[in-house]
């Protein structure tokens, strides 16, 4: 954490450095993570952070690269929170973090696919997200947007297509040479700051298919799921979110030897419960519970109104 890259006129950001792994195995350790325990458990919250890529960031082309940025979930209180997915003998205790939400970018098909912004869900109980009305299944072992080989994670592609200025994720038009939109103003890899937001609302009861998960980039809704059983029918009770982290493991193998590592910076992390009409910033907000797009702890003055903090939970 240093002041070499930061949002606003002064301050520091959290910077992670990703290195290209030497082989296709064991490469997921090539990054870092910082974790914050929340003072309570929350069944509904927003997590918002500003993200800035190294302008020379490169994606690998020899394997399917992926980079995780944000995760939050319920730490069960036993085991190592850094080893969130460790299995236990009791299937009801699999993993130390459940439920859990992860946010990442990935290029599947050996790096040949378009870049996908993804929200990954690891459910409570047996980790196996059950079928949801209106969908085939939340997991399908044969496709990239299904559960992975370890049967522990449900991966989802973005909702809709990425087309148009500011949201176009196609390689041919905006990602020449495998770079992450470095020459395209308004893209998330243009060397500037971009706002990533996630909304989480737990399902109303174990097994109920009414949990909500939404993701925005720069105020544009890019992922929305309204029937997620975060706490499935095997869960003894609803487990609220009590831990948030930035950074995360990455796998991005590339051959460009002249640039051995590159960075991603994070600033202005805000964790908060939804705004209401009683909050000072409601009138300038999107009125869906999110903070105003222009809100920034880095830029706020001592006499400016700050959003009301949920009990025992700091905003920054």
Q: List, for residues 108-117, the tens digit of each pLDDT value.
A: 556 555 555 6
- DSSP assignments along the chain, one per residue: -BSSS-SSSS--BEEEEEE--SSSSSTTBSS-EEEEEEEEEESEEEEEEEEEE-TT-B--SSS--EEEEEEEEEE-SSS-TTSTT---SSGGG-SSEEEEEEEEEE-TTTTTSPPEEEEEEE-STTS-----TTSS-S--TTSTTSB-TTS--EEEPPSS---STTT---HHHH-GGGBSSTTSTTSTTSSSEEEEEEEEE--SSTT-S-EEEEEEETTEEEEEEEEE-SS-TT-SS---EEEEEEE--EE-----TT--EEEEEEEEEEEEPPP-TTSTTGGGS-SSSPPPTT--TTT--TTSPPPPPPTT----
Query: Residues near 25 by Cβ (< 8 Å), separated by ≥ 6?
Result: none
128, burial (CB in 10 Å: exposed 0-12, middle 13-18, buried 19+): middle
111, burial (CB in 10 Å: exposed 0-12, middle 13-18, buried 19+): buried
Binning pLDDT at 50, 70 and 90, where does residue 300 land? low
Binning pLDDT at 50, 70 and 90, where does residue 273 land? very high
More confident residue, 38 or 229: 38
- Give the residue-averaged pLDDT of 261-290: 93
Q: Distance from first CA to last CA of the chain, Å, rounded?
A: 15
pTM of the full predicted structure?
0.76
> Tokens representing 249?
């493991």
Q: Which of 258, 280, 248, 284 is nearest to 35 (CA)?
A: 248
Are the C-beta atoms of residues 80 and 86 closer than 8 Å to each other? Answer: yes
Range ranked top by mean pLDDT from 94-103, 150-159, 211-220, 282-291: 282-291
Kindly report which listed range (45-59, 114-128, 175-189) carries the lowest average pLDDT score: 175-189
Tell me how far apart the alpha carbons of residues 32 and 16 are, in angstroms, rounded to a whole number: 6
302, burial (CB in 10 Å: exposed 0-12, middle 13-18, buried 19+): exposed
Are the C-beta atoms of residues 107 and 217 closer than 8 Å to each other? Answer: no
Residue 9 clears pLDDT 80, i.e. is over it: yes
Residue for token digits 């193998």? 253
More confident residue, 146 or 93: 93
Average pLDDT value over all residues in the chain: 68
- Give the pLDDT score at 109: 57
pLDDT, tens digit (0-9, with 9 covering 90-100), for 185-200:
445 666 788 888 999 9
More confident residue, 73 or 146: 73
278: left (phi over 0), alpha (psi -120 to 50) or beta: alpha
């Amino acid at each position: 954490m240093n002041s070499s890259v930061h949002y606003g006129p002064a301050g520091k950001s959290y910077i992670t450095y990703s290195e290209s792994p030497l082989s296709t195995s064991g490469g997921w350790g090539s990054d870092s993570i910082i974790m914050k325990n929340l003072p309570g458990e929350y069944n509904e919250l927003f997590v918002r952070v500003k993200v800035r890529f190294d302008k020379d960031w490169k994606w690998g082309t020899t394997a399917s690269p992926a980079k995780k940025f944000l995760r939050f979930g319920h730490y069960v209180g036993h085991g190592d929170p850094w080893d969130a997915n460790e299995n236990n003998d009791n299937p009801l205790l699999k993993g130390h973090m459940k439920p859990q939400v992860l946010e990442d970018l990935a290029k599947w098909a050996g790096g040949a696919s378009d870049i996908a912004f993804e929200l990954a869900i690891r459910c409570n109980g047996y980790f196996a997200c059950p079928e949801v009305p209106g969908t085939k299944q939340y997991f399908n072992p044969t496709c990239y947007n299904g559960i992975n080989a370890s049967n522990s994670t449900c991966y989802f592609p973005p909702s809709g297509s990425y087309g148009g200025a500011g949201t176009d994720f196609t390689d041919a038009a905006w990602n020449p040479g495998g770079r992450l939109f470095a020459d395209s103003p308004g893209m998330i890899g243009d060397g500037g700051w971009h706002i990533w937001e996630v909304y989480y609302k737990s399902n109303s009861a174990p097994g109920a298919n009414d949990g909500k998960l939404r993701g925005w980039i720069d105020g544009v809704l890019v992922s929305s799921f309204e029937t997620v059983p975060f706490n499935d029918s095997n869960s003894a009770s609803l487990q609220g979110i009590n831990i948030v982290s930035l950074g995360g493991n990455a796998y991005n193998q590339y051959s460009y030897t002249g640039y051995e590592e590159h960075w991603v910076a994070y600033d202005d992390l805000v964790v908060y419960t939804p705004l209401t009409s009683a909050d000072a910033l409601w009138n300038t907000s999107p009125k869906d519970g999110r903070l105003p797009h222009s809100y920034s702890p880095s830029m706020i003055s001592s006499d400016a109104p700050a959003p009301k903090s949920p009990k025992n939970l700091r905003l920054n």
